[in-house]
């Protein structure tokens, strides 16, 4: 069905198409009969995929990354699509409209997106009220937090703190986004001192899982130093990676915004493999970026990912995407003789590996 509907959606401006899908997930997918129908089609329950990560229970490893449900108003509808966890945001302390439009672009042949959204969101006060209505929820809920555009670099920790402390009681885990390319100078915060201060601040408030989301475009030595700083300062793990500004990876790319989807699969694979060699067994690793089929998902699990996050693949492959990934992972596990996902995670971590091409 989605193959028939997708051309109609793709005839719309990408943000208008997203708004239409959001309306369905908010207003239609939450109707009792529709909810049951969607769940019966898309939710896969299999004990072989269940696990506990950082004290949280996950029914499967496939999560929806931040960016799709920026304002936490689709949680109930999204829960019918088979995800093991959901992440809302990126949210900021005060509401902001984001960058000028157009700011979201499809590259259909490459199954990729390029976005220059700029943390457009309703602000923590409004989003908090929505989360209070649904939390605690059947699935783990994460909140992804960013910096307001108008805040100076010297006030950044306080800006993160003001948003973070409001949400502590309405989420299961938190992600600090210092790697979006769409807020000026945000990626400059990916430094050892700032990351240490950020996570030490957060640990003063909560023992819940805390993660840093990292850019794929950093030099490896700098990346490892930042991740190690986060680890020593209380981070539970790292999400690798955010979107890329390596525009050579995508024919006819725009000159601003971050690339996601199949075009960055090779880059994200290489970055994640390097991170896993350094940090597997020391902290939780969550793979994000360029996960477009079950083979790719399974490879990241074998590298050391405990959990996976998707977004662009959902846009191109539709509401069955999470179920298809989970089905494929189970098939690959069976082929390899694994009886539970815990046996898969990290079997390839630390092994020499040829670099993939973009």
| Cβ proximity of 64 and 291 under 8 Å | no
| Gap between the Cα atoms of 318 and 30, Å rounded | 18
The catalytic position among 180, 215, 244, 260 is 180
Q: Say how many Å lie between the first and final Cα of the chain, rounded.
A: 31
CB 275 within 8 A of CB 123: no
The single residue listed with the structure tokens 């700032």 is 194
Sign of CA dihedral 149, 150, 151, 153: positive
Sort residue 272 into left (φ over 0), alpha (ψ -120 to 50) or beta: alpha
- Helix (H) or strand (E) holding 51, with range, is strand 51-53
Q: Positive or negative CA dihedral for 228, 234, 237, 239? A: negative
In contact, 49 and 306? CB cutoff 8 Å:
no
Spatial neighbors of 19 by CB under 8 A, at least 6 apart, are: none
* Residue 180 annotated to the active site: yes
* Bond prior to 153 in cis (omega within 30° of 0): no
Q: Mind telling me the catalytic residues?
A: 180
């Amino acid at each position: 069905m989605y193959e028939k509907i997708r051309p109609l959606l793709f005839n719309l401006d990408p943000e208008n198409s997203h708004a239409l899908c959001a309306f369905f997930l908010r207003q239609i997918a939450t109707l009792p009969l529709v909810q049951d129908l969607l769940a019966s089609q898309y939710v896969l329950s299999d004990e072989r995929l269940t696990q506990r990560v950082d004290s949280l229970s996950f029914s499967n490893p496939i999560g929806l990354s931040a960016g799709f449900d920026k304002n936490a108003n689709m949680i109930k509808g999204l829960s019918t699509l088979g995800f093991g966890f959901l992440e809302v945001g990126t949210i900021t302390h005060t509401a902001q409209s984001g960058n000028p439009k157009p700011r979201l672009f499809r590259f259909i042949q490459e199954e990729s997106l390029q976005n220059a959204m700029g943390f457009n969101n309703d602000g923590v006060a409004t989003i908090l009220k929505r989360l209070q209505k649904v939390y605690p929820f059947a699935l783990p809920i994460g909140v992804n937090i960013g910096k307001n555009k108008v805040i100076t670099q010297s006030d950044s920790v306080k800006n993160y703190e003001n948003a973070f402390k409001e949400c502590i009681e309405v989420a299961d885990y938190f992600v600090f986004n210092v790697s979006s390319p769409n807020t000026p100078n945000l990626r400059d915060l990916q430094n050892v001192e700032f990351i240490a201060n950020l996570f030490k601040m957060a640990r003063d408030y909560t023992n819940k899982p805390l993660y840093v989301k990292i850019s794929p475009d950093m030099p490896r030595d700098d990346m490892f130093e930042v991740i190690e700083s986060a680890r020593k300062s209380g981070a539970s793990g790292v999400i690798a990676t955010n979107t890329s500004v390596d525009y050579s990876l995508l024919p006819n790319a725009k000159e601003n915004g971050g690339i996601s989807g199949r075009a960055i699969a090779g880059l994200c694979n290489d970055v994640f493999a390097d991170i896993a060699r350094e940090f597997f067994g020391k902290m939780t690793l969550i793979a994000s970026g360029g996960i477009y089929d079950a083979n790719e998902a399974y490879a990241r699990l074998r590298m050391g990912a405990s959990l996976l996050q998707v977004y662009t693949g959902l846009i191109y492959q539709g509401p069955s995407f999470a179920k298809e990934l989970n089905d494929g992972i189970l098939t690959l596990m069976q082929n390899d003789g694994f009886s539970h996902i815990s046996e898969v995670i990290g079997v390839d971590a630390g092994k020499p590996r040829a670099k993939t091409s973009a």
